[in-house]
Structure formats: structure tokens, C-alpha cells
Copies of this chain bind each other. A is one copy, B any other.
Amino acid sequence: MNRTNDGMGGAQQGANLLALRSHNTALVLDLLRTAGADGISRLELAERTGLTPQAVSKITARLREDGLAADAGRRASTGGKPRTVLRLVPEAGHAVGVHLDRDETRAVLADLDGTVVARRRAPLDLGAGAEAVLAGVAGVVEALRGDGAGARTPLGVGVALPGPLDHRRGVLHRVTGFPEWDGFPLRDALAEVLGVPVVVDKDTNAAALGLAVGGEGGSFAYLHLGTGLGAGLVIGGSVHRGPRTAAGEFGHQVVQLDGPPCGCGDRGCVEALCLGAVARGEVGEAARVLGAGAANLVGLLDIDRILLGGRTVEADSAAFVRGVRAVLDARAERTGDRAVPVRLAPGGTFGVAEGAAQLVLAPVFGRGDA
């Protein structure tokens, strides 16, 4: 059962039978999604969830009635009746993911299992005022709904954008260079225009969620090095946002006391050191600094994996992966533990937009705190 572990200091919620059903249904749906086109049998679902086979049968019967699950052939017999394999019906629901980047809007229409059905991109000018931006986003969303084979209304729209914001209330806090957006209730304003539920989150969190749902299990940190440096933290399968959606401020971790000044006003931040090294052409040094920050993170949170992404990393990904890995390997040698793996995060241009779609889809599968 689920306790929102994302910083709420408030009272824990009691659970009734409806909550019980939702929980178990979401669990089964998540396993169906993970199994993909191969499908999964009822008995396997029972084993994985700890529920009795009969309970699984009832839950899957409901899912089949609702059109969310369907038969997908049968396995080879092991001496008795062969298991019937079930699979998720991806077309049963769609979500739109929107990535508001500095100067461009990128958006995808994804089906239930996260497969991208359609993409759109459009120029973005945050200085044009709220109305124009909202209209632009609405236009892209409408266009995607037209692209989608099924003309059904999407379950919702997820919006990812840089900068601090309030995930819970859906309110922006500060958008660099555009103070007029401070305190703008993006979620509610957009929901009004679009007529469907809207979820907003930081771009790094959306990216991390996309990775988590896309198969990265356990706990990991997604370090994004582009024009800035940020992180999305996934702990035990859920994105850790903190009560103010302020977690993941990785770029301004100080790793060099009294070091060179950073744009944030502090000195010796990872971001300043890292980007400074890149500017000087010292990618190895940049990777070493990034690795030091990553090692701090690993020591503090005991996470399983480090994933690197962002345009600056992708420009010389081998060097970055190698450099960060070297620091973590050295750390592992000192502590005697197994080294924490470092990998390049899959993603591409629409990675954040896909993650944004998961802001809507993930709750269906019992992930996230919506």
C-alpha cells in the first residue's frame, strides 16, 4: 500500500475498499505495461503482486471489460492447461506531454504504454504574454489530438518546463528572464483552456519519470547537463520532488568551498565548475567535477545508478561517462562496495516531452503521487 512519501508533513491517509481496489488494479496494470507486447499470465501476476490467483482473475476480468486488457495468446503447456497470456491495450488511453523549452515547444501524444503516436514542435516566446503562450500550447495539443488515430479526448496533459515551480498546486515560481510568469497558475489556466486535467513539473523531474517508467528500476539520479545543470531523483521507483518541488537542485551543490563564483551568488558550485571546464575545452575535468557531485549523491542517498543526459553531455558522451565512472569506481574501491553504474540516458529531442506525458500516465499505474 502506498504512503505518499514525497515530503508531505501532513496526516497519513486512511484507506478504504475503493483505495484498496485502485491500488491492486494499478499494480496489475503496471505489470501488464512492463510486460509489453509479450504479455503476462494471471498466475505470474499473482506471484508478482502477492495476490491470490483468484483475486487477479477478478481484477483482470474488470480490466478486460473496461477494454484496458486483452488476451494475447497462450504459453506452452507445462503438463496441464496452458496459461492464458494477457496484455495491456495501449490504445485504451492517451496522454499529451508538452515540453516548454527556452525557445521551442515540443509535444508528443503517447498511448497508455508510453509509445509516441505523434509529435509536434512549435516556436515558443515566453515574453509574448500568458495568453499567447497558452493559445500556442492549446494549438499544439489540438493538433496532436488530430494526429492521433483515435479521436478520443486524452486523459490529460503533462507540461514540463525549467525553473522552480509548485508541482502540487501547478503554479510557476520563477522563470529565468521572465519575471511576469512568477506565481502564474499554469496548471489551472491551461486546464481551463484545454478542458482536460493538466499536470506540471520541472523538466528534469519529467525526464527522470520517463526513465523510471521506461524500465529504469530502483533508485537512480538523472543528471542533466545542458545550458545549466540539474538532476531528477528517483527513489524506489518514484520521483522525489520534496514538499516544495525544490529537490534536485544539483547544479548548485558546492564542491569547491570558496571556489570560483557562480551565477547563483554562491561559490564553487558544480554547475559553475563543470560548465567552466567545458568552456575551456577541458571535458575531462568537467566530467571529474560532475563525478564528484555524483559520488556525493551516491553516498548520501545510496542510489543504484547514475544516468547522464543533456546537450552538453551528448556532445561528448563517451568522455563524460568515462570521467564520471572513473570517480565512482575509485569511490567503490575505497569503500569496498560494488561500483555504481554510470550510463548515458536514452532520450533524444523529445525525451522530456515523453516524460511529461508520463506525468499523466504514471498515476494510472500507481506511480507518482497525483
Contact = CB atoms under 8 A, between A and B. Distances in A.
B302 A218 contact: no
Contact of A264 (B24, B235, B334): B334
A198 to B, nearest CB: 22
Contacts of A336: 174
A300 B249 contact: yes
B11 A31 contact: yes
Contacts of A231: 300
A248 interface: yes
B301 A240 contact: yes
Nearest to A3: B2
Contacts of A218: 7-9, 243
A3 B238 CA distance: 10
Contacts of A244: 302, 337
A300 B48 contact: no
A5 interface: yes
B337 A302 contact: no
A128 interface: no
Main secondary structure of the interface of A (DSSP, over half): loop
Given A7-B235, A300-B249, A336-B174, A51 B12 contact: no
Contact of A17 (B20, B23, B295, B297): B20
A334 B257 contact: no
A255 B257 contact: yes
Interface of A: 1-9, 11-17, 19-20, 23-24, 27, 30-31, 48-51, 55, 174, 217-219, 231, 233, 235-238, 240-250, 252-257, 259, 264-266, 273, 289, 292, 295-297, 299-304, 331, 334-337, 366
Closest 9 CB pairs of A and B: A242-B302, A1-B1, A9-B218, A14-B49, A249-B299, A14-B51, A247-B302, A246-B302, A5-B5
Given A1-B23, A254-B295, 20 more contacts: A1-B20, A2-B2, A3-B3, A3-B236, A3-B237, A7-B302, A7-B304, A11-B48, A14-B23, A240-B301, A242-B303, A243-B304, A246-B337, A247-B302, A248-B302, A249-B302, A254-B296, A257-B259, A257-B292, A297-B300
